[in-house]
Amino acid sequence: MTLAELNIDEDVFDIFVTFNALEKIEFLSNAMEFGADIAILKQIEKISEALAPAPTSTPIISSQDFQLGDYRLCVTTLKGEVQLNSDSLKTIRDFVLKLTMDGLILIAKDKNKSSFDMYRYYRSYNVINNTYPISLS
């Protein structure tokens, strides 16, 4: 499409006049390649990303307790890390096997249990990647 063939609606033009010079050039380039409607959506998306609040550096922590038979298992997930607490080492090993069979690639971390931990056993793992589940058949 050439610039002469480009048709800009009144609603799109109202938004177009609010752009700075660089945004107008980018809009016209996108409009000639994809059309005015898609070009305006790209510009609005770009502006909304610029106005979005910056993500916080505080890691998001999630913790869940599970009752597995007679034992409890506390699973705490951080960004790229899984921490497991339980009274049974077998319960932790079974859960790690389940995560591995579900496709998580885990590497054990050398991290000590804190004195505030009410469970007997503690294991921490780095999550390297998520792949396809493993099937034994």
User: Does residue 73 share a domain with residue 39?
Assistant: no
Whether residue 4 is contained in a domain is answered as: no
Q: Which amino acid, residue 104?
A: L
Same domain, 67 and 20: no
Residue 127 confidence (pLDDT) above 80:
yes
In a domain, 46, yes or no: yes
> What mean pLDDT is reported for the chain?
85
Backbone angles phi, psi at 109, to 5 degrees: -100, 150
124/70 same-domain check: yes
Q: Is the confidence at residue 114, as pLDDT, over 80?
A: no
Question: How many domains would you assign to the chain?
Answer: 2
Same domain, 126 and 75: yes
Q: Please report whether residue 56 resides in a domain.
A: no
pLDDT, position 124: 92
Whether 67 and 126 map to the same domain: the answer is yes
Same domain, yes or no: 47 and 67: no
Whether residue 86 is contained in a domain is answered as yes
> What pLDDT score was predicted for residue 59?
61
Question: Is there a single domain that holds both residue 31 and residue 87?
Answer: no
Beta bridge partners of 123: 84
Distance of CA 29 to the CA centre of its chain: 32
- Pair (67, 44) in one structural domain: no
pLDDT confidence bin for 1, thresholds 50/70/90: low
Percent of the chain surpassing pLDDT 90: 29
Based on the fold, state whether residues 74 and 47 are members of the same structural domain: no
Q: Is residue 34 part of a domain?
A: yes
pLDDT (0 to 100) of residue 120: 87
- Give me 58's structure tokens: 């505080």
Query: Residue 46, SS3?
Result: helix
Q: Is residue 70 part of a domain?
A: yes
64-78: pLDDT as tens digits: 999 888 899 999 998
> Number of H helices and number of E strands within the chain?
4, 5
What separation, in Å, do the N-terminal and C-terminal C-alpha atoms of the chain show?
A: 55
Q: What is the pLDDT of residues 90-104, one digit of tens each?
A: 999 999 999 999 998
Range of the domain at 25: 10-51
Higher pLDDT, 114 or 104: 104
Q: Do 123 and 77 reside in the same domain of the chain?
A: yes
What is the rounded radius of gyration, in angstroms, for the C-alpha atoms of the chain? 26
What is the rounded CA–CA span in Å between residue 53 and residue 5? 38
pLDDT at 108: 92
Among the listed residues 117, 19, 131, the one whose alpha carbon sits nearest the alpha carbon of residue 76: 117
Return the pLDDT at 55: 65
Output the pLDDT for position 10: 83
Is the pLDDT at 58 greater than 80? The verdict is no
Query: In a 10 Å sphere around its CB, with 0-12 CB exposed, 13-18 middle and 19+ buried, how is residue 91 labelled?
Result: buried
